[in-house]
A and B are shown apart, each in its own frame.
Chain A
């Protein structure tokens, strides 16, 4: 899922500026699961904003709602009635959610309350880790199901650099060396010979380097 983190409240307050009628919009999908932009977090942010503006002596109306998915126009459509008398929308969705709302409500400003961070999973309660970089050409079959693109700090394709020590990355002890993990897993699978092959230069054009990406399935198009 998409992992996002709430921005500092001061930054959000700054983004509000002189707007007076605000709608804080949550999303029930990824950001609910990563505890950053679901109904609960919307309630906290809306409440904190109301308190902050009261302290500042400003009359600002802060309403709140949470929709199923901010990344689908059909769900964003349902905001129409609540959004129409507002002068600012605050999205607590990921960057996709913010943009879907911006597209749908062309004449209303929308600002992000979250920083979208990565594609990953909860490692344990309160801790999330990255697993995929959406490079568009999966190599997990060759690397024991562990992604060197997203999990090696240098996205190396042919084994660990000289900074791998005790299973950890050179940049800090909190990061596992992806290639150490790959080595251990391939050893367990009795497939160490995979490591002898030189992985060729990667075609990054399927990644972001090829420009904004688009996927079309003709069979599904109406």
Chain B
């Protein structure tokens, strides 16, 4: 059977969350294996949210933030990006490929791009296979 990765997407409610909502309503290839976590701003993202997602069985974690200079809270998006970079490095050190963690900028209107990104992301995570944390002990 084909491997279907479990993916958690943290979405800013001011942009990607709405784009995801629109994409879902259009019923045009919205992947069923994506779990959306709504954030009041991508700046609310904590390193631990990402780690916990992997602990709970995610094979990939995607972060969607507003475009640079478009953050409702001014710098939440760039701060999120820095945190994602830091977390990527930490994941590598504990044996999880940093490619399992992806960061994207997206606006509310870009619902087709949202679909493209998650589909591409989905494929790349499929390519990586199941996250090594899921190996039965």
Q: Is the CB of B51 within 8 A of A48?
A: yes
Report whether over half of chain A's contact residues are helix, strand or loop; otherwise say mixed: helix
Does B52 contact A47, Cβ atoms closer than 8 Å? Answer: yes
Residue contact A40 to B52, C-beta cutoff 8 Å: no
Q: Which of B50-77 contact A (CB under 8 A)?
A: 51-52, 54-55
A48 to B92, CA, bound (A): 11
Binding stretch for chain A, among B4-12, B31-39, B93-101, B108-116 = B93-101
Query: In the docked arrangement, what's the CA distance between A175 and B55, Å?
Result: 42
* Residues B48 and A54 in contact, CB atoms below 8 Å apart: no
Asked whether A47 and B95 contact (CB < 8 A) given A9-B90, A54-B137, A57-B135, the answer is: no
19 new A-B pairs (CB below 8 Å) besides A9-B93, A9-B94, A52-B94? A13-B94, A44-B47, A44-B51, A47-B48, A47-B52, A51-B51, A51-B91, A51-B95, A51-B96, A51-B133, A52-B95, A54-B132, A54-B133, A54-B135, A54-B137, A55-B95, A55-B132, A57-B137, A59-B137
Q: What are some 19 contacts across the A-B interface (CB < 8 A)?
A: A8-B93, A9-B90, A13-B94, A40-B46, A44-B51, A47-B52, A47-B55, A48-B51, A48-B94, A49-B94, A51-B55, A51-B91, A51-B94, A52-B94, A54-B133, A54-B137, A55-B95, A55-B135, A56-B95
Can you list the 10 inter-chain pairs with the closest CB atoms, starting with the nearest?
A55-B95, A52-B94, A47-B51, A54-B133, A55-B132, A43-B48, A59-B137, A9-B93, A44-B48, A44-B47
- A residues with CB within 8 A of B: 8-10, 13, 40, 43-44, 47-52, 54-59
